[in-house]
Amino acid sequence: MFFVAFGAATLLPLPSEPLFAALQIQGDTSLLWLVVFASVGNTLGSVVNYVLGWQAMRFADRSWFPANPKKMARAQRWFERWGIWTLLFAWMPLGDAITLLSGVMRTRFWLFFVLVATGKTLRYVAMALVTSGVLAL
């Protein structure tokens, strides 16, 4: 579960939900450990995207880089004010792009990590509740 969740959080098109649900229904794995491994793997996969985004800024002075310093400064101010909270939803479609962008925008790592880990853990807890029938959609 850890490796699939990790891959799913990177730019790879790999869903973790079917495996999570299958393992939960199978019942051979503790639900707590299933949530822990899925959440940790998925969060660490997002850290890979963050680092890739952070490293992309090494090329900001190149002519082919898509944004000039003025645009980057404006985007940074906007992201720090509004975009940072989108990290709580990094588990949704386009979440990989959000985590990559947060690296480009130089989001403080501790804040990135707390928001992403919170959102991803709550997502797997909700999945566990839905799959067990405790929470109906």
How many structural domains is the chain composed of?
Answer: 1
- Domain of residue 54, residue span: 2-132
Let me know if residue 117 belongs to a domain: yes
In a domain, 137, yes or no: no
* Helices within 57-108 (DSSP H only): 69-81, 95-104
pLDDT above 90 for 12: no
Top pLDDT among 68 and 92 is at 92
Average pLDDT, the chain: 89
Higher pLDDT, 61 or 96: 96
* Average of per-residue pLDDT across 85-97: 90
**Residue at 118 is within a domain:** yes
Higher pLDDT, 88 or 76: 88
Summarize the confidence of residues 60-79 as an average pLDDT. Answer: 79
Identify whether the C-beta of residue 35 lies closer than 8 Å to the C-beta of residue 124. yes
Identify whether 7 is part of a domain: yes
Q: Count CB neighbours of 72 within 10 A.
A: 17
The lowest-confidence range among 1-10, 57-66, 108-117, 124-133 is 57-66
pLDDT at 40: 97
* Cα distances (Å, whole numbers) of residue 12 to 24, 31, 75, 97, 122: 23, 26, 26, 12, 22
Question: Contact at 8 Å (CB) between 89 and 120?
Answer: no
Structure tokens at 124: 């797997």
- Residue 114 in any domain: the answer is yes
Angle at 104 between CA 77 and CA 1, to 5 degrees: 125
pLDDT at 76: 79
Q: What is the pLDDT of residue 136?
A: 62
pLDDT band of residue 17 (cuts 50, 70, 90) is very high
Instruction: Please report the sign of the dihedral spanned by the C-alpha atoms of residue 114, residue 90, residue 40, residue 118.
Output: positive
Percent of the chain surpassing pLDDT 90? 56
58 domain residue, yes or no: yes
**pLDDT for the residue 14:** 87
- pTM for this one? 0.85
